[in-house]
Amino acid sequence: MLIRMSLPMVLHRFHLLFGFAAALSLPSEFKRCSLSDPKREECLRDAIQHAFPLLKNGLPEFNFPPLEPTRIESMTIGEGHGSVDIRQTYKNVELHGMSEVKVNSISLEEAGDVATLSLTGIYDKLRMEADYEIDGRVLLLSVHGKGRCVINLYNVTANPTIISKQYEKNGTTYSRIETFNASTNPKKVDFHFENLFDGNEILGREVNNLINAEWEVVFGDVKPALDIALGAIFKRIANIIYTKVPFYELFPK
């Protein structure tokens, strides 16, 4: 599996990106939370929930890209499994709806200078638009196509886990994101690929129907690449800020 990612955004800034915004006291609307607060998890949940709409259009003065849309340069998925065996390539991916999350729960655990944040968020709908190229088979039918596609994900549960570690630089404590594991779990997905079979509308409609009938198999192949891409993007963007802003400005005592 080959995945290439650009610096721009995707699914989930969660505590990392909230930490950046709140610590710098950018707009007064951003809420800050003390790690010594006995209700810190409740505070973080509310603060992150409130931060997502504020980050919808990004913060250009800090090179903080917009949440809408979250952009992924490309994703390449190898051969599939079972009745759906499709090699898929997506380029110029735009993921819409990332700012519309409902944050259900947060868990924060600390062990020395290492912190682990686990979050559960719900999206009613995420919409992925991209240039695609596919080649393979659905059941016994050979499939090929190249063009635009739209993939809608419904009732999505996002379960990212973020691990950060403190370190010293010039006598000041900072934090660095070591791991950002994204996990995107929809209850339903529908696919629409334009220009299948070089624009044959009848065959294209039939194959789109077959793919949607087997959506769990098709998305099961897409999910690992999507999660890796989102995790890598979020980690890199968060670390641009985390490695510049002192830890106790991000999370006051």
CATH number for 132: 3.15.10.30
CB-based contacts of 249, cutoff 8 Å, min separation 6: 23, 24
Per-residue pLDDT at 80: 63
Structure tokens at 150: 């739209």
Per-residue pLDDT at 244: 72
Which residue range(s) make up the domain with 193?
Answer: 3-250
Residues of the chain short of pLDDT 70, as ranges, are 1-28, 80-82, 241
Give the number of domains in the chain. 1
74 within 8 A of 12, measured Cβ to Cβ: no
Per-residue pLDDT at 8: 39
Structure tokens at 65: 């890209």
Per-residue pLDDT at 234: 80
199: alpha, beta or left? (left if phi > 0; alpha if psi -120 to 50)? left
Per-residue pLDDT at 82: 66
71 within 8 A of 10, measured Cβ to Cβ: yes
Structure tokens at 247: 């830890």
Rounded Cα distance between 73 and 94, Å, is 9
Burial class (CB in 10 A: 0-12, 13-18, 19+), 212: middle
Rounded Cα distance between 88 and 86, Å, is 6
Structure tokens at 252: 């006051």
